Chain A
Amino acid sequence: MTNFVTFTVIGIVVGATYAIAASGLVLTYATSNVFNMAHGAVGMFMTFLYWEVSVNQGWPVWVALPFVLGIAAPAMGLLLERVMMRRLTQADVTISLVVTVGLLVALIGVAQTIWPPAGRNIEQFFNGDAVSFGIVRVSAHQFITMGVALAVAFGLYVLLNRTRIGTAMRAVVDNRELLALHGARPNLLSGLAWALGSSLAALAGILLAPQLTLDYTTLTFLVVSAYAAAMVGRLKSLPKTFVGAIVLGLLINYATWAYISLPKSVLTSDFGQVIYGVKNSLPTIFLLLVMLALPQEKLRIGRISGTKLPKLPSWPVALAWSAVFIVGTYLLTGQFGDANNSRFGQAMCLPLIMLSLVLLVGYGGDVSLMQLSFVGMGVLVAARGFTIPGTGIGFHPQVSVLSIVTAFLLTAMIGAIVAVPALRLRGLYIGLGTLALAAAIDRIVFNTKLLGFGNEGSTVNANRPGWLQSEQSFAMAVVVAFVVMGLMVLSIRRGKYGRILLATRDSQAACATLGFSTTITRVAVFAVSAGLAGVAGVFFAGEHISVSTYDVFFFKSLPLLLFATVFGVTSISGVLVGGLVYGLIGYAPTTVGNLASVVLLLGILLLGGNPNGLVGLIFEQARKVPLPWRRGGLPVEAEPYPTHNPARSALEAPVGTA
């Protein structure tokens, strides 16, 4: 009984913090149509700021708290709305996901630069004070947390239903244009919502922080729980969000209770690690279950479709560039020493992984935030080998044709299984769902000895085949793999399936009325894309030889998508440049890397949602340069379509008249 009451109280307290964070998320999403992946990162940043002023600078709580919640956080919210989110209300969901992911990466980078890693603690409010209710002690901090959540709930209710400005905020959600037609300033209202949302994120972070050591990612991703709660209210309803948050808080704590009641022999076994992973993944599992319960997305018509993709290179051109690239890198790696060749090879792994995104995101218009999980699976195939139980048939843990084929098949299969439920939903939910799944895979698969690498931080080793032992030869193997897989992606794009893929992306409604199931295409693309990432994982393992769980940490899927999109996820050259830049930044000092993420963010803003990225932009401009061998100037630009229609006469005598 004591346990039950204790865990219930803690559950409600935890749920209360989720509720606070989630309500901020709902508020910003509803008023601006931009889902802020960086909501948690904002909370994290503000919590660090709170630590800075209250602990480091020694301000009293009653100054520090109003400063962070009342000035710093709202200012940041207003700034974000003004500089970024306002441009994104009409943007494609992939773009707005990528931009807010960029913000997340940048905030972590900035936080790491200002507050280098160190043990930091935030004390509870009224530390040590507690009230005993018979057998159960409830700390003052817990009371405050619950009280604050209640106050937030009540305050938001009053704001949204009883004040003019709140009613106007709800009106923004309903019909932004109409509001402008009546003289209200919708941007002002979303700005306000973002200010409020940031404060709520900060509040949740500060309330949660005493229970954790202050670090960059834990707080940032505790907000997966907020996503989960917000999803219960379909990112719209605040009451449902609160209920979802409390239910989730209780669920997690009852699970913890159940977990610690397990016999010690189970807990310490290999299987116990898996259970531990499941317990820690409950918020993401909860999120996935909520998403499964969502109804199938309806076919939408009347939206503007069609993105101008970069011009496809012809086969001779593509092959020529491939040859140049292989010969060039061969000559270059011949000059490098082993250390540099290893660095180059490792950097080349990133474009290889990003190729899978070209197919899925660039051509297919879907989104995945779990590509690195497929890479991790590929790594495991290469590092653990594979034998069919009881037969002895299989292969050694080594990079080989067999491991490549196995990795492809395994990850493609898992990709298909993931895709079937995910693709019922719209882009944003697919993004959130795949991210949640990636987090769960980290904990349940990768961080276990039974299925994955072992404890968090453990490594696995993969062997290179005899003829690819040297650093140069394996780096070249990665280069050749990139070229071969790149040409494969290109051939898919040029063929029947490429056309169908683009058609699916442009109008699913039109596909349906032509009698075609877009689900099969999308699932197939998701599966093939996962398979390519799995193959990339085998090369990744061979190149790094020793791979740790940190190398495939789910969070790293985010910068992967970010770099690919910024440099051009619609072209092979785009991901080559994007991947190499991302890979090479890894060798720069941390500050440079952090700065780069900020610069990258500015890059996205400058792009203004150009889906072809920086490389696409450069190509577009380069085509306009009149070169001596490019005769005839600009036929495409000058005359986009024939002004008269010579074939009209064909109508005079229609073919096949019965």
Chain B
Amino acid sequence: MTGRTNALDVIDLTAGYGRIEVLHSVSFSVPVGAVVALLGPNGAGKTTTLNCISGVLSPTSGHVHLNGHHVNGAAADKLARAGLCTIPEGRGIFPNLTVTENVSLFAFASQTSPKDIEERTFTQFPRLQERRSQLAGKLSGGEQQMLAMARALSSDPAMLLLDELSMGLAPKIVEDLYEIVADIGRQGISVLVVEQFARRALAVAQLGIVMVQGRITAVGEPADIYDELSAAYLGGAA
């Protein structure tokens, strides 16, 4: 095999729900260790793309390659064990488990002992340590999102998918969260983040992809796609 540099390749992906086609032949790649932002207005098909990658939805046609392996049709739990970790839209936490339980739940997936994982997590997220014995459902929105990311990291994934990281969160918290995303990227984990808050995501991303109505309209370095982005969001009026 040729020396591959991509953690994820999406090739000619077409998908939809029932009769309605949402994605029309979407292709892009996420290089190993890069943070990539998938941007676009509501209804552009970003979450659908993510669902196809994480195995929740089967595409009508096209391919998804994870680390060079063809993974279409693999079940979500298999993909996860292959190193793909997804944080779904709307906080991926277990509300009736305590913070600690949420963090150490997936310890079996990694080589590290639960104690070490807890210690590592709480060093990285001191805010969660203060609330370690609280039920996760009682945390604020930002803390829940933080917990979801902490848990995702506990399983030492090769690639992280983040859906609508900032949804419904205050700017200050979103800023903190993106600090963490940047940090994750520096650890060598490839990240695909789906976002509406374009600016913040682009500030930490190495690559931006703009999606409108199920098609990719621009791919490039953050600075290059900014104009395209304004047009996509505010109908060219802004």
Contacts and interface: CB of A to CB of B under 8 A. Distances in A.
A181 B80 contact: yes
Interface stretch (A171-179, A200-208, A503-511): A171-179
Given A164-B114, A178-B88, A184 B95 contact: no
Contacts of A178: 88, 92-94
Interface in B48-95: 54, 56, 75-77, 80-81, 85-86, 88, 92-95
Given A181-B86, A182-B80, A175 B94 contact: yes
Contact of A168 (B56, B75, B105, B151): B105
Interface string A126-170: 000000000000000000000000000000000000001001101
B8 interface: no
Q: Which of A178, A180, A183, A184 has the most CB of B within 10 A?
A: A183
Contacts of B81: 183
A180 B80 contact: yes
Nearest to B151: A182
A185 interface: yes
Contacts of A175: 92, 94
A171 B105 contact: yes
Contact of B97 (A174, A177, A183, A184): A174
B96 A173 contact: yes
B169 interface: no
Nearest to B19: A640
Contacts of B97: 167, 170-171, 174
Interface in B7-59: 54, 56
A179 B97 CA distance: 13
Given A167-B105, A171-B105, A178-B88, A183 B80 contact: yes
A281 B108 CA distance: 48
Given A170-B94, A175-B94, A184 B106 contact: yes
B73 to A, nearest CB: 15
Nearest to B107: A164
A224 to B, nearest CB: 28
B228 interface: no
B166 interface: no
B71 to A, nearest CB: 14
Contacts of A177: 56, 76, 88
A221 B106 CA distance: 40
A175 B148 CA distance: 13
B155 interface: yes
B109 interface: yes
Contacts of B108: 164
Contacts of A182: 77, 80, 85, 105-106, 109, 151-152, 155
B55 to A, nearest CB: 9
A178 B104 CA distance: 15
B194 to A, nearest CB: 15
Nearest to A171: B94
A20 B56 CA distance: 38
A648 to B, nearest CB: 19
Contacts of A186: 77
B96 A174 contact: yes
A180 B76 contact: yes
A174 B108 CA distance: 19
Q: Which of A164, A182, A186 has the most CB of B within 10 A?
A: A182
Interface in A182-198: 182-186
A435 B80 CA distance: 43
Contacts of A181: 54, 56, 76-77, 80, 85-86, 88, 92
Given A164-B107, A171-B97, A183 B92 contact: no
Interface in B89-125: 92-97, 101, 104-109, 114
A174 B94 contact: yes
Contacts of B96: 170, 173-174
A174 B144 CA distance: 14
Contacts of A180: 75-77, 80
A173 B109 CA distance: 20
Contact of A185 (B77, B86, B155): B77
A182 B80 CA distance: 5
A192 to B, nearest CB: 14
A174 B109 CA distance: 20
Contact of B95 (A168, A174, A179, A185): A174
Interface string B188-199: 000000000000
A184 B54 CA distance: 14
B77 A183 contact: yes
Q: Which of B56, B92, B94 has the most CB of A within 10 A?
A: B94
Contacts of A164: 104-105, 107-108, 114
A183 B105 CA distance: 11
A178 B95 CA distance: 12
A181 B159 CA distance: 13
Contacts of A185: 77
B106 A183 contact: yes
A171 B106 CA distance: 11
A183 B94 contact: no
A177 B86 CA distance: 11
A167 B108 CA distance: 12
B87 to A, nearest CB: 8
Contacts of A179: 94
Contacts of B114: 164
A167 B96 CA distance: 10
Contacts of B93: 178
A8 B154 CA distance: 51
A522 B105 CA distance: 44
Contacts of B76: 177, 180-181
B117 to A, nearest CB: 12
A366 B162 CA distance: 40
Contacts of A168: 105
A171 B152 CA distance: 15
Interface in B205-236: none
A181 to B, nearest CB: 5
B85 to A, nearest CB: 7
Nearest to B137: A174
19 contacts: A164-B104, A170-B96, A171-B97, A173-B96, A174-B94, A178-B93, A180-B76, A180-B80, A181-B54, A181-B56, A181-B86, A182-B106, A182-B151, A182-B152, A183-B80, A183-B106, A183-B155, A184-B80, A185-B77
Interface of A: 164, 167-168, 170-171, 173-175, 177-186
The 6 closest A-B pairs by CB, nearest first: A183-B80, A174-B94, A183-B81, A180-B77, A180-B76, A171-B94
Interface of B: 54, 56, 75-77, 80-81, 85-86, 88, 92-97, 101, 104-109, 114, 151-152, 155
Given A178-B92, A184-B106, 13 more contacts: A164-B107, A167-B101, A171-B97, A171-B101, A174-B95, A174-B96, A179-B94, A180-B76, A180-B77, A181-B85, A182-B109, A182-B152, A185-B77
